[in-house]
Amino acid sequence: MSYLSIKDLSTEIDGKGILNKLNLNIEKGETHVLLGPNASGKSTLLYTLMGFPDYKVKEGSITFDDKDITELEIEDRSKLGIAGVYQNPPAINVKLSKLLEKISDKKVELQGIEGLLDREVNVGFSGGERKLSEVVQVISLDPNFIILDELDAGLDVVNLEKLSNLIKEELSGKTILLITHRGRALKFFEPDYAHVMMDGQIICSSKNWKKIWQTIEEDGYEKCKNCELYTNR
């Protein structure tokens, strides 16, 4: 069985179906990218994997490191080493320095973090500052499996490269799922597999992420529905 195995996963939120019999397998130490247009279900997959209670599993299963986590609470999944960097994390009325002290003894050195340590988490943070804060928190936790939701949103190329390199250096050998519709982070991660998601399903997968992204850039995501170059993993 794969390190992360998602089988026939269907979910809903507020009675509306989002994921539709989704299947995905990720081996330990691999980096996968999940591409897809807005509203395709990518972030719903993140929240479902993390165990957010509003995202109801109606069918299927999620297995991580040989454990069925389909019904596990967020805290229990975190204890197993699953962590996420969110696109729009909430504000927290506690200083970032205090939060980091609570979650880990690990010190993360990064230019720009000093100015955030004495500020309340995500209160008045810019998009780039939120991403920096989220990444530092995740690195401090030293998780086994990391989900990065739209890491390239709100970041210029220079800061995107810095954060990407920090993640690769500090979490080397970890299992990563990178979620994006822009694709700007691809060149910094060079994933082992690429998947395209539309309408709550993964419609194609390939090791040739460059070819998939070229197709999307030239012809859009709709082209992936009819592309015969790729087969589901």
User: Would you say residue 231 lies in a domain?
Assistant: no
User: Would you say residue 233 lies in a domain?
Assistant: no
User: Would you say residue 232 lies in a domain?
Assistant: no
Q: Which domain holds residue 210?
A: 4-225
Mean pLDDT of successive 10-residue stretches along the chain, which has 233 residues: 94 95 97 94 95 96 98 96 91 92 80 85 90 91 95 86 90 95 89 94 92 90 70 43
Residue 72: exposure state from Cβ atoms within 10 A (0-12, 13-18, ≥19)? middle
pTM score: 0.91
Rg (the chain; Cα; Å): 17
Q: Do residues 70 and 8 touch, judged by C-beta distance below 8 A?
A: no
Q: How many CB atoms lie within 10 A of CB 143?
A: 18
pLDDT at 228: 56
User: Would you say residue 230 lies in a domain?
Assistant: no
Q: How many domains does the chain have?
A: 1
Q: Which two tokens stand for residue 113?
A: 């973090």
User: Would you say residue 97 lies in a domain?
Assistant: yes
Tell me the CATH number at 54. Answer: 3.40.50.300
SS3 per residue for 33-67: EEECCCCCCHHHHHHHHHCCCCCEEEEEEEEECCE
